Amino acid sequence: MMNQKKKLAVVGAGMVAHRLVEAMVERGADEAWDIEVFGDETRPPYDRVALTSFFSDRDPEDLLLGDGELWKRPGVRLYRGSIVSGIDREAKQIHARNTTFDYDRLVLATGSYATVPPVEGSDLPGCFVYRTVDDVAELRAWVLDREAVLGRKVKGAVVGGGLLGLEAAGALTALGADTTVVEFADWLMPLQVDQAGGGALRRIIEQLGVSVRTSTATSKLRAGRDGKVTRMQFADGDKIPADVVVFATGVRPRDELAREAGLELGERGGVLADEACLTSDDSIFAIGEVAHIAGRVWGLVGPGYSMAEVVADRLLGGDATFEGADLSTKLKLLGVDVASFGDAFAATNGSLEVVYADPTAGVYKKLVMSDDAQTLLGGMLVGDASAYTNLRPMVGRALGSDPTAWLLPEGMEPPSGSSLPDDANVCSCNNVTAGTIRGAVTDHQCTDIAAVKQCTKAGTSCGSCVSLVKKLMETQMAEEGLEVSTALCEHFSVTRAQLFDIVRVSEISTFSELIEKHGTGRGCDICRPVVASILGSLGKGHVLEGENATLQDTNDHVMANLQKDGTYSVVPRIPGGEVTPAGLIAIGQVASDFGLYTKITGGQRIDLFGARIEQLPEIWKRLVDAGFESGHAYGKSLRTVKSCVGQSWCRYGVQDSTTLAIDLELRYRGLRSPHKLKLAVSGCARECAEARGKDVGIIATDKGWNLYVGGNGGFTPRHAQLFAEDLSTEELVRAIDRFLMYYIRTADRLQRTAPWLESIEGGIDAVRAVVFDDSLGIAADLDAAMAAHVDTYEDEWAATLADEKKLLRFASFVNAPETPDPDLVYVEERGQRRPADDEERAVLIAGASIPVRDAEVTV
Amino acid sequence: MTEWQRVCELEALVPDRGAAALVGGHQVALFRLSDSGEVHAVDHLDPFSQANVMARGLVGSRKGVPTVASPMHKQSFDLRTGQCLDDPEVSLQVWPTRVADGWVEVQVVARSRAA
Ligand code: SRM
Ligand SMILES: Cc1cc2nc3c(=O)[nH]c(=O)nc-3n(C[C@H](O)[C@H](O)[C@H](O)COP(=O)(O)OP(=O)(O)OC[C@H]3O[C@@H](n4cnc5c(N)ncnc54)[C@H](O)[C@@H]3O)c2cc1C
Ligand code: SF4
Ligand code: FES
């Protein structure tokens, strides 16, 4: 039988096309439709909104939308690098890749292109627009190359002081260029904020070292002798040097295909479509930035996503409509908050404006209220947009209290999760209401933020709504009687962070006292090691001291790593991976004398496997005598600081990465934490130490060190994110001290730094504020805690060897302390031994006379 | 026939921390609990991993039941009955114990195990 599926062709593979296909698949529409998507970019759809993060997070792969599985489904095809050159509406065909494709329904999702004003010289080499990953990659390469050729800072000019222009200015500044923003209007971001707001914005941006020229028209660009752009000239005759120019003067819908095919267009461009997103041809839809619906084109992703949902519904026979959308925006430009929402310009008759301005702090806030001062109509926030998340869903509703209170620096108590009505839009990017989030808890059993995000898509685009989403989820869970389970385990009803504080501020230094006062029962394999770790972080005694010993997992208890057969592995610390030949020989000699399997680890050191419990002290005595100390391969604590060879030998190295790695490893060795900690230091941007895969990664620059945090390998790999740039060694160490201590205090049990950063309110920015601006006033405390750790560190193994009583723990049997476990069986492989597997055991134990297979042994 | 084997002095057992012992050719895990003062003995062999490690597990409680958790993959067992609390099909053999003259004694019983 012939395939009965109908054909859907989608032109344009951008953000909105992606959402359309995703929505189709979610609703099972791919059963009835074969979907073909054509995009002229070479990448699968990516997050254009986050384009600027490409500068701090340089892997374009990180920007891709979804996990890529979407494009591998049967019935879904993505043609990348394929421009659609024409539509034949008669034949219902489109032309691409020198061939024609049939369609039953066609969706235009071609987005916009960046416009370039008619300025002489705007096509000179060195002039860019800011729309695609390729634009940004070329811009970056250009700036770095010019800097190298000119041997000085690059001069950058951005034409356009709107949302995109300021993003571009941020990007240029991040690349180290001296940047000037040129705006034709009288103030910056004229579409989002009023003159006073624009003025506040300008002051903040100028303080960041970006020059601003408003009321200025660019008239000409001049090339130097090498043919590359070098100077920008203004209509008033003034000129400035410019080695790179970015045009961010606006976007225009890419409606040329529709125009040629004779579809109706809006007056100022855009493919005219009705509230079903249908164009003047009822087989063709238009969605996203190319569509002109309800009287306008919509230049934000949120409305585009709503249109995608409408079309998915229509293709399944539904009757969803698009009737306009929220054009609120919040962004962080050059680290400055700007938000604008609802009727920000007070266009409503009789509306009142409530303004709060603090020029010294660089803050300007305005609320637009209805004539009776009761209902919030809109507003704008410059410099501090923390109230945005809570205010935006209140648009059209009574604020219920003195509106000025919302504008004060401390902000008002935000509406608690339960006071927000079900239909209030919480996530404007993805159009998710408070009711939907509550439903995720009640109907879909979501009980953590990750599940709610996945289920509702709230918070998955710009991320500005996440804190509110979380609050709603938690309130709903509490209402359902669901425990917002922050309890550590059945014995302690508090979180690890709370327990940490209890121990820190109280005099308690034993588990029994802690559980008696703050818990119940005898504890378990969850809370005992947590308490051990907390006591360890706070320097309350040797891990094997007194009662502490009963809290330790076997790894911590015997200071080695348990293996599958009950023996242990031994890992001496090799700071930064640097070891002398004599050290190597000493380790080799120990391994050889005790018959230990030897392997180089993934952490730049050596692991010796197969040590029996009663052998550990003897082995360690030899290692300590040879100058080694515990490597803490066991325990939740610092593992390794991986290094690259760096400046000392490498022809590219710009700093001494090995010395720094060693210093850091010695500084943080033995530091007990919620999970293990890994660091790395690379001597240049080639990144041979894979620092961005570590909890703390450091990459040398010619000015100092760039610090990255929150990297993880393991089950869910994450790249570390840029935390601070060009730090001196001293600044770097202080920043790491505080970062680690803050993590140790506040993270959950077994939470690595990446999920911790995600879980913390305000995310990485909040942590940055704690570390660099002392926003919580605890910096001195954190510094003191780390200093105490550094001062009191002692090698656990050396201390154990010096204490007869502690050595008793290494007896194999209490009544036969030196008798080896008689059940251990080994076979040889590649010249070393390893534990025998079940089959080999059967043979070796029973003797060679028993057949290898079907051996049935009864003991 | 019941036979008691003297294993070690009570003081040699650290409260809430296990110790392995050889009893009549079997590997046994002994636990002295801090609150009740009781001494429990169960198999040292972890039935899940087949490694002799139970004495190195963490002692604790679950809903009032005294437990030990395997150090290998963390399954918990009732120290009094040997029953695994995470898998009803699995249990540890329990060995009667008593304290006489400050010495811990374990009753030697025939081991019933099919491989
Ligand atoms: C020995 C080693 C493998 C090797 O043969 O090279 C190893 C072995 C173990 N790893 Fe690993 N990991 C080793 C490098 C790594 C790396 C690579 C690295 O560090 O560059 C990673 C990924 C990077 C990362 O951690 O982000 C890694 C990710 C893990 C994870 C997953 C952590 C996560 O965040 O998801 C675990 C499980 C855990 O810790 O909960 C783990 C756990 C373990 C444990 C401790 C499992 C256990 O409890 O028995 C293994 C026992 C170590 C032993 O017996 O000595 N190991 N492990 C490596 C020791 C490095 C060292 O010198 O200390
Ligand atoms: C730097 C930057 C920051 C932004 N920040 C925000 C923000 O904070 N909030 C917000 O809401 N919005 C923001 N936007 C706007 C947002 O990115 C767009 O609204 C959104 O991408 C529109 O989606 P779309 O699918 O309609 O168009 P696009 O994402 O542009 O996708 C259209 C795709 O179609 C392709 N195409 C066009 N013609 C053809 C053809 N003939 N054949 C094949 N393929 C074709 C294009 O190459 C493109 O890949 C930002 C945009 C930029 C550039
Ligand atoms: S993941 Fe691999 S290296 Fe890590 S513990 Fe397991 S087997 Fe060993
Ligand atoms: S508002 Fe942007 S992700 Fe929710």
Residue A96 CA: nearest ligand 2 atom is 42
| pLDDT > 60? residue A114 | yes
Mutation target among A488, A522, A858 for the B interface, most CBs of B within 10 A: A522
pLDDT in tens, A297-308: 998 898 999 999
Does one domain contain both A108 and A257? Answer: yes
| pLDDT > 90? residue A548 | no
The CA A715 to ligand 1 mean position distance, Å, reads: 11
Q: How far apart are CA A825 and CA A833, in angstroms?
A: 10
The H-assigned helical ranges of A154-265 are 163-174, 195-207, 256-260
pLDDT in tens, B39-81: 999 999 999 999 999 999 999 998 889 999 999 988 999 999 9
The CA A292 to ligand 2 mean position distance, Å, reads: 15
* Chain centroid to CA A842: 50
**Burial (Cβ within 10 Å: 0-12, 13-18, ≥19) of residue A483:** exposed
HEC sequence for A330-342? EEEECCEEEEEEE
The H-assigned helical ranges of A430-547 are 434-442, 449-456, 466-479, 496-505, 511-518, 527-537
pLDDT in tens, A198-222: 888 898 888 888 999 999 999 999 9
Q: What mean pLDDT do residues A359-387 have?
A: 85
Residue A335 belongs to a domain with what CATH number? Answer: 3.30.390.30
- Residue to probe by mutation, ligand 4, list A390, A464, A469, most atoms within 8 Å of CB: A464
Q: Whose CA is nearest to atom 36 of ligand 1?
A: A714
- Bridge partners (DSSP) of residue A355 are A366
- Residue to probe by mutation, ligand 4, list A329, A429, A455, most atoms within 8 Å of CB: A429
CA distances from A743 to A190, A639, A737, A777, B109 (A): 41, 16, 10, 16, 52
Does one domain contain both A103 and A151? Answer: no
Does one domain contain both A144 and A11? Answer: no
pLDDT band at A409 (very low <50, low <70, confident <90, very high): low
- Residue to probe by mutation, ligand 1, list A552, A559, A601, A750, most atoms within 8 Å of CB: A601
Contacts of A816 in chain B (CB under 8 A): 21-22
Residue A688 belongs to a domain with what CATH number? Answer: 3.30.413.10
Asked whether residue A302 is domain-assigned, the answer is yes
Tokens of A101: 């494709």
Phi-psi region of A373 (alpha: psi -120 to 50; beta: other; left: phi over 0): left
Tokens of B47: 């039935």
Return the number of CB contacts < 8 Å for A and B. Answer: 103
Residue A369 and residue A352 in contact, taking contact as beta carbons nearer than 8 Å: yes
- Bridge partners (DSSP) of residue A90 are none
The CA A423 to ligand 4 mean position distance, Å, reads: 16
Residue A74 belongs to a domain with what CATH number? Answer: 3.50.50.60
Q: By three-state DSSP, how is residue A105 classified?
A: strand
pLDDT in tens, A742-787: 999 999 888 899 989 988 888 898 999 999 999 888 999 999 999 9
pLDDT in tens, A628-649: 999 999 989 999 999 999 999 9
| pLDDT > 80? residue A275 | yes
Domain that holds residue A340: 326-414
pLDDT in tens, A452-467: 888 898 887 776 677 7
The H-assigned helical ranges of A316-444 are 388-391, 434-442
Q: Strand A127-129 and strand A244-247: pairing?
A: parallel
- The beta-carbon contacts of A790-798 under 8 Å, at least 24 apart in sequence, are A790/A667, A792/A539, A793/A669, A793/A670, A794/A542, A795/A624, A795/A629, A795/A630, A795/A670, A796/A542, A796/A543, A796/A544, A796/A559, A796/A630, A796/A670, A797/A559, A797/A620, A797/A623, A797/A624, A797/A629, A797/A630, A798/A624, A798/A629
Please indicate whether, in this complex, the C-beta atoms of A490 and B115 are within 8 angstroms of each other.
no
pLDDT band at A418 (very low <50, low <70, confident <90, very high): low
| pLDDT > 60? residue A412 | no
Please state which of the ranges A477-486, A793-802, B12-21 shows the lowest mean pLDDT.
A477-486
CB neighbours of A504 closer than 8 A, spacing ≥ 6?
A538, A745
Q: What mean pLDDT do residues A366-391 have?
A: 86
Does one domain contain both A701 and A760? Answer: yes
Is pLDDT larger for residue A540 or for residue B27? Answer: B27
Q: What mean pLDDT do residues A550-569 have?
A: 93
The interface predicted TM-score of the complex, written ipTM, equals 0.75
Residue A654 and residue A702 in contact, taking contact as beta carbons nearer than 8 Å: yes
Q: How far apart are CA A757 and CA A747, in angstroms?
A: 9
Asked whether residue A357 is domain-assigned, the answer is yes
- Number of domains present in the structure of chain A: 4
Q: How far apart are CA B71 and CA B82, in angstroms?
A: 16
Asked whether residue A739 is domain-assigned, the answer is yes
Asked whether residue A423 is domain-assigned, the answer is no
Does one domain contain both A782 and A649? Answer: yes
Which among B16, B67, B71 has CB closest to A550? Answer: B16
Does one domain contain both A44 and A155? Answer: no
User: For residue A571, which of A626, A623, A637, A618 has the smallest C-alpha distance?
Assistant: A623
Question: Which pLDDT score, from 0 to 100, does residue A416 have?
Answer: 46
Single out the residue in A381, A414, A447 at which a domain terminates: A414
Q: How far apart are CA A558 and CA B56, in angstroms?
A: 9
Does one domain contain both A237 and A265? Answer: no
pLDDT band at A232 (very low <50, low <70, confident <90, very high): very high
Interface membership of B8 toward A (CB under 8 Å): yes
- Is ligand 2 within 6 A of the CB of residue A270? no
Is pLDDT larger for residue A334 or for residue A4? Answer: A4
Q: What mean pLDDT do residues A175-201 have?
A: 90
Residue B32 and residue A834 in contact, taking contact as beta carbons nearer than 8 Å: no
Q: What mean pLDDT do residues A673-698 have?
A: 95
Question: Which pLDDT score, from 0 to 100, does residue A695 have?
Answer: 97
User: For residue A688, which of A678, A676, A697 has the smallest C-alpha distance?
Assistant: A697
Does one domain contain both A244 and A262? Answer: no
Residues constituting chain B: 115
Asked whether residue A715 is domain-assigned, the answer is yes
Does one domain contain both A38 and A159? Answer: no
Question: Which pLDDT score, from 0 to 100, does residue A855 have?
Answer: 35
User: For residue A637, which of A673, A607, A610 has the smallest C-alpha distance?
Assistant: A673
Average pLDDT of the residues of chain A: 88
Contacts of B27 in chain A (CB under 8 A): 813, 821, 823
Does one domain contain both A195 and A167? Answer: yes
Tokens of A628: 């080694």
Domain B2-109: which CATH number of 3.20.20.70, 2.102.10.10, 3.30.1330.10, 2.40.270.10 = 2.102.10.10
The sign of the dihedral angle between the CA atoms of A294, A300, A302, A304 is: positive
Sheet of A296-297: strand order equals A271-272, A291-293, A296-297
| pLDDT > 50? residue A327 | yes
Angle formed by the axes of helices A434-442 and A449-456, to 10°?
A: 120
Q: Whose CA is nearest to atom 2 of ligand 4?
A: A462
Question: Which pLDDT score, from 0 to 100, does residue B1 have?
Answer: 55
Domain spans of chain B, in order of start: 2-109
**Burial (Cβ within 10 Å: 0-12, 13-18, ≥19) of residue A850:** middle
Contacts of A613 in chain B (CB under 8 A): 56
Please indicate whether, in this complex, the C-beta atoms of B58 and A553 are within 8 angstroms of each other.
yes
Reported as half-sphere exposure (CB side, CA atoms, 13 A), residue B109 has a value of 14
Among the bound ligands, the one closest to the CA of A47: 2
Average pLDDT of the residues of chain B: 90
Single out the residue in A225, A249, A273 at which a domain terminates: A249
pLDDT in tens, A262-274: 999 998 899 999 9
Burial A56-94 (b: 16+ CB within 10 A, else e): ebeeeeebbbbeeebbeeebbebbeebebeebeeeebbb
Asked whether residue A28 is domain-assigned, the answer is yes
Does one domain contain both A648 and A782? Answer: yes
Q: What mean pLDDT do residues A678-690 have?
A: 95
pLDDT band at B110 (very low <50, low <70, confident <90, very high): low
Is pLDDT larger for residue A854 or for residue A360? Answer: A360
